[in-house]
Amino acid sequence: MDKARSNSTPGPIKSPMFKPDLPPGTASGMAAGPATEGVTSVDWDLWQSVVYEGPAAVARTSADELGRSIASGIPQAIRGVVWQVLAQSKNEELEGVYRELVARGTDKERSASNAGISAPRSESSGALGQERDSLASSASSVHSDSSTPATSGVTSSPQNEGNSVEAAAKVNTQAERVKRAEDDASALQKLEKTIRRDLGARTSYSKYVMSAGLQEGLFGVCKAYALFDGDVGYAQGMNFIAMPLLFNMPEEEAFCMLVRLMNKYGLRDLFVQDIPGLHLHFYQFERLLEDFEPALYCHLHRRGVNPQLYATQWFLTLFAYRFPLQLVLRVYDLILSEGLESAILKFGIVLMQKNAQTLLGMKDMTQLTTFLKERLFDVYIDKAPSATSLLESGFFGSTAGVDKEIYRADMLVRDACAVKVTPDTLKAYAAEWAEQQRLTHDRDAELDALRTANAALTQKVRHLEERAEKHDIEHVALASELVRTKVDNEALQDGNESLRGQVEELRKVVEGQPAEVEARLREEMERIMQRNIEVQNENRALEEGTEEMERELVATKMLYAQTNAEHDALKQRWTNILTLMSAP
Q: Residue 99 — very low, low, confident or very high, per pLDDT cuts 50/70/90? A: very high
- φ/ψ (deg, to 5) at 26: -135, 155
Mean pLDDT of 481-492: 91
Q: Residue 146 — very low, low, confident or very high, per pLDDT cuts 50/70/90? A: very low
On the question of pLDDT at 256 being above 50, the answer is yes
Q: Among residues of the chain, what percentage have pLDDT more than 70?
A: 77
Q: What is the pLDDT of residue 118?
A: 42
Q: What CA–CA distance (Å, rounded) separates 133 from 177? A: 11
Superfamily covering domain 26-93+200-421: Ypt/Rab-GAP domain of gyp1p, domain 3 (1.10.472.80)
DSSP 133-199: HHHHHHHHHHHHHHHSPP-TTPPP-HHHHHHHHHHHHHHHHHHHHHHHHHHHHHHHHHHHHHHHHHT
Mean pLDDT of 568-580: 89
Q: What is the pLDDT of residue 388?
A: 66
Q: What CA–CA distance (Å, rounded) separates 314 from 270? A: 11
Q: What CA–CA distance (Å, rounded) separates 148 from 150? A: 6
Q: What CA–CA distance (Å, rounded) separates 120 from 98? A: 9
Residue type, 435: E
Q: What is the pLDDT of residue 34?
A: 37
Q: Contact, 325 vs 214, CB < 8 A?
A: no
Burial class (CB in 10 A: 0-12, 13-18, 19+), 387: exposed
Coil vs helix vs strand at 407: strand
Residues 6+ apart with CB under 8 A from 214: 243, 246, 247
Coil vs helix vs strand at 15: coil
Helix (H) or strand (E) run with residue 355 in it: none
Q: What is the pLDDT of residue 251?
A: 92
Q: Contact, 209 vs 200, CB < 8 A?
A: yes
Mean pLDDT of 19-38: 35
Coil vs helix vs strand at 39: strand
Q: What CA–CA distance (Å, rounded) separates 520 from 538? A: 26
Cα 542 to chain centroid, rounded: 129
Q: Residue 161 — very low, low, confident or very high, per pLDDT cuts 50/70/90? A: low
Q: What is the pLDDT of residue 147?
A: 34
Q: What is the pLDDT of residue 399?
A: 41
On the question of pLDDT at 228 being above 50, the answer is yes
Mean pLDDT of 198-223: 76
Longest CA span, the chain:
226
On the question of pLDDT at 92 being above 50, the answer is yes
Indicate left, alpha or beta for 481 from its phi (over 0: left) and psi (-120 to 50: alpha). Answer: alpha
Q: What CA–CA distance (Å, rounded) separates 267 from 335? A: 11
Q: What is the pLDDT of residue 304?
A: 93
On the question of pLDDT at 406 being above 90, the answer is no
Q: What CA–CA distance (Å, rounded) separates 517 from 510? A: 10
Q: How does DSSP classify residue 396?
A: T
Range in 44-53, 239-248, 498-507 the model is least confident about = 44-53
Q: What CA–CA distance (Å, rounded) separates 473 from 193? A: 62
Mean pLDDT of 336-348: 90
Q: What is the pLDDT of residue 120?
A: 40
Q: How does DSSP classify residue 234?
A: -
Q: Residue 522 — very low, low, confident or very high, per pLDDT cuts 50/70/90? A: confident
Look at 19 and 321; give whichever has higher pLDDT: 321
Q: What is the pLDDT of residue 438?
A: 92
Q: Residue 55 — very low, low, confident or very high, per pLDDT cuts 50/70/90? A: confident
On the question of pLDDT at 149 being above 50, the answer is no
Look at 31 and 89; give whichever has higher pLDDT: 89
What are the beta bridge partners of residue 26? 31
Comparing CA positions, the residue from 19, 185, 145, 10 lying closest to residue 84 is 10
Domain ranges across the chain: 26-93+200-421, 458-562
Q: What CA–CA distance (Å, rounded) separates 377 from 357? A: 14
Q: What CA–CA distance (Å, rounded) separates 573 from 296? A: 190
On the question of pLDDT at 142 being above 60, the answer is no
Q: What CA–CA distance (Å, rounded) separates 132 from 118? A: 10
Q: What CA–CA distance (Å, rounded) separates 567 from 569? A: 5
Q: What is the pLDDT of residue 512?
A: 81
Q: What is the pLDDT of residue 128?
A: 36
Look up the pTM and report it.
0.64
Q: Residue 558 — very low, low, confident or very high, per pLDDT cuts 50/70/90? A: very high
Predicted confidence (pLDDT) per residue in 364-376, tens digit = 999 999 999 888 8
On the question of pLDDT at 453 being above 90, the answer is yes
Residues 6+ apart with CB under 8 A from 529: none
Q: What is the pLDDT of residue 433?
A: 93
Q: What is the pLDDT of residue 213?
A: 77
Mean pLDDT for the chain overall: 79
Q: What is the pLDDT of residue 16?
A: 35
CA dihedral sign of residues 471, 477, 481, 487? positive
Q: What is the pLDDT of residue 202?
A: 59
Look at 152 and 496; give whichever has higher pLDDT: 496
Mean pLDDT of 306-321: 89
